[in-house]
Structure 1
Amino acid sequence: MPYLLRITLIALALLGTVSCTNKPLLNPDRTLHASIHSDRAQMQQAIVKTLVARGWTVQKITPQLVQAQITVREQYHAEIDIPYSADHYRIQYRDSSGLDYKDGKIHKNYIRWVRLLDKGIVRELKDDQNERTAKQLSEAALIKP
């Protein structure tokens, strides 16, 4: 294979690899399944607990919004807003550095972090629901003669 063709193919392969690191921005918008019953305080607790467990720093908490940020290896930094209600939340991108945000695309690490947060919040709410159900069942069993 001629030298120039080989160099061109290698350059194209490297360019393709570099462009694959940026993915469309992800803003999970989740309405809870009817089987998961929570109030606003439980939703807030699940969000904050998941953020802390995943290494995010909670910046601000209000009855409708949680703001958080994460810095990884002093190189990657992301900030998010999570507006929420008793049965709904949305993880929204606010700002970043080192994650190459441009034209609605961002580094794949951010996408992974947000997906893990989304799954963690749902898992936390399900676990809380299961604990409350188990407690109610055990209390009902204790009341019966």
Structure 2
Amino acid sequence: MSYLLRVTLIALALLTTVSCSSKRMLTPDRTLHPSIHADRAQMQQAIVKSLVGRGWTVQKITPERVQAQITVREQFHAEIDIPYSATHYQIIYRNSSGLDYKDGKIHKNYIRWVRLLDRDIVRDLKDNQNERTAQQLSEAAAK
């Protein structure tokens, strides 16, 4: 294989790798399904439990917002805000380092962290709903 062809193939491979590491920013904006009944405290608890379970550090909790950050391998750092109500929450990017944020794009690791966090929050709310339903059925059967 000629030298020029090798260099061209290596350059293309590097460009492909670099372009795949940044993805369009993910900002989950979730309204709960009507079958999931939660109050503000239960929503806050599900958010905090999911953050801690995923290795995020909770920085601040108010009745309307949770702020958190994560640092992975002392190289990647991200900060988020999660405004919430009893029926809705959003995961909003606040700041980062080492994740190449630029022009609405960010490293795919951040996207994965946020997607998993979103999934865990919904799962926790569904599990709590199922527990409440089971308890109500048990109480009704005991009467």
Asked if Structure 1 and Structure 2 have the same fold, meaning a TM-score greater than 0.5 normalized by the shorter chain, the answer is yes
* Post-superposition offset of 1:2: 2.4
Per mean C-alpha deviation after superposition, the further-off stretch among 42-51 and 10-19 is 10-19
* Post-superposition offset of 1:34: 0.6
Q: Which residue of 2 aligns with 1:37?
A: 37
* Post-superposition offset of 1:18: 1.4
Q: Which residue of 1 aligns with 2:3?
A: 3
Tell me the SS of whatever aligns to 2:81. strand
CA distance in structure 2 between the aligned counterparts of 1:66 and 1:58, rounded to whole angstroms: 7
Percent identity, aligned pairs only, is: 82
Q: Which residue of 2 aligns with 1:88?
A: 88
Q: Which residue of 2 aligns with 1:108?
A: 108
Tell me the SS of whatever aligns to 1:20. helix
Per mean C-alpha deviation after superposition, the further-off stretch among 4-13 and 67-76 is 4-13
CA distance in structure 2 between the aligned counterparts of 1:49 and 1:12, rounded to whole angstroms: 43
Q: Which residue of 2 aligns with 1:66?
A: 66
What pairs up with 1:96-135 in 2 under 5 angstroms?
Answer: 96-135=96-135
Unaligned 5+ segments in structure 1 are none
CA distance in structure 2 between the aligned counterparts of 1:101 and 1:89, rounded to whole angstroms: 23
Structure 1 residue ranges (4+ consecutive) displaced by more than 6 angstroms after TM superposition: none
> What letter is aligned with 1:23?
K
Q: Does 1:23 align with 2:23?
A: yes
CA distance in structure 1 between the aligned counterparts of 2:5 and 2:49, rounded to whole angstroms: 54
* Post-superposition offset of 1:5: 2.0
Unaligned 5+ segments in structure 2 are none
- The one-character-per-residue Cα deviations of 1:93-112 (angstroms, maximum 9, x if unpaired) are 00000111111110000000
* Post-superposition offset of 1:71: 0.5
Tell me the SS of whatever aligns to 2:50. helix
TM-score normalized with structure 2 length: 0.98
TM-score normalized with structure 1 length: 0.96
* Post-superposition offset of 1:82: 0.2
Q: Which residue of 2 aligns with 1:52?
A: 52
Per mean C-alpha deviation after superposition, the further-off stretch among 34-43 and 2-11 is 2-11
